[in-house]
Chains A and B, each alone.
Chain A
């Protein structure tokens, strides 16, 4: 599936919530806007549906497709940048989101892979995910986000 030369990151966080609540937070636009720098996703959430990540002003940030969908456990997206030519030219990445109940919490694992060495796209998104994830965790556990978005 991935070659040894692929660029990959695997981010994990534990959130004190239920898989259903976390799944809603990951997929509902009103929820997403609160922790994802004001952005939201547009898709019909069916395997094969087009997927779009939308900036607060309506411009398209990224596009792709739903590859796998198994609520509230697993989501796989094909994902390509649309607004930076040098990132768009790298083509499609693959983002896997996994939810697993652990004790009173949910282990959330985000694996993002681009099938090329030293991907600029992966470098770029790997910087964003920790902020998104700690904001998401804070929103679900306390009802507040840490960052003003």
Chain B
């Protein structure tokens, strides 16, 4: 997945707000997502489509309705790439300690 698309999708405050709404209540229709927002349905649809292309929103057909879900996997991949790296020395120190305390066979 193109991480550029993820960053571009997240760069917009309205799109982050839509993700927040899905985090609060997962599985919403476009109509539900529009409720109480100061945006036209068309604008929301466009933002949702950008979020879908970045794989930040997944969806499922539920009868005649299309339900939208937040997909945190790309954000997690960014965290792994940019943050986990700094944790590695600590993690490997821990696993070495575990090996020493428990013996090699408990790797």
Q: For B77, what are the chain A residues with a Cβ–Cβ distance below 8 Å? A: 13, 134, 137
Contact B91 A134 (CB under 8 A): no
A125 within 8 A of B: no
B101 within 8 A of A: no
Number of A residues near B (Cβ < 8 Å) is 22
Contact B1 A130 (CB under 8 A): no
- The interface residues of chain B, by DSSP majority, are classed as mixed
**Contact size range, B:** 20 to 34
In the complex, chain A residues 99-149 whose Cβ is within 8 Å of any chain B Cβ: 109, 111, 129-131, 133-134, 137-138, 146-148
B7 within 8 A of A: no
Contact B58 A134 (CB under 8 A): no
The answer for the CA separation of A67 and B94 in the assembled complex, in Å, is 40
Given A134-B80, A146-B80, A146-B84: A11 touches B95 (CB 8 Å cut-off)? no
- The interface residues of chain A, by DSSP majority, are classed as mixed
Contact A10 B71 (CB under 8 A): yes
A31 within 8 A of B: no
A140 CB to nearest B CB, Å: 13
A40 CB to nearest B CB, Å: 15
Contact B1 A10 (CB under 8 A): no
The answer for the CA separation of A62 and B74 in the assembled complex, in Å, is 27
The answer for the CA separation of A13 and B76 in the assembled complex, in Å, is 11
Given A14-B1, A134-B80: A9 touches B69 (CB 8 Å cut-off)? yes
- B contact residues vs A (CB 8 Å cutoff): 1, 26-27, 55, 58-60, 62, 67, 69, 71-74, 76-77, 80, 84, 91-92, 94-95
- Could you give 28 example pairs across A and B, Cβ below 8 Å? A2-B62, A4-B62, A8-B27, A8-B60, A8-B69, A9-B26, A10-B59, A10-B60, A10-B71, A11-B72, A12-B58, A12-B71, A13-B1, A13-B73, A13-B74, A13-B77, A111-B60, A129-B73, A130-B72, A130-B76, A133-B76, A134-B73, A134-B76, A134-B80, A137-B77, A138-B80, A148-B91, A148-B94
- A contact residues vs B (CB 8 Å cutoff): 2, 4, 7-14, 109, 111, 129-131, 133-134, 137-138, 146-148
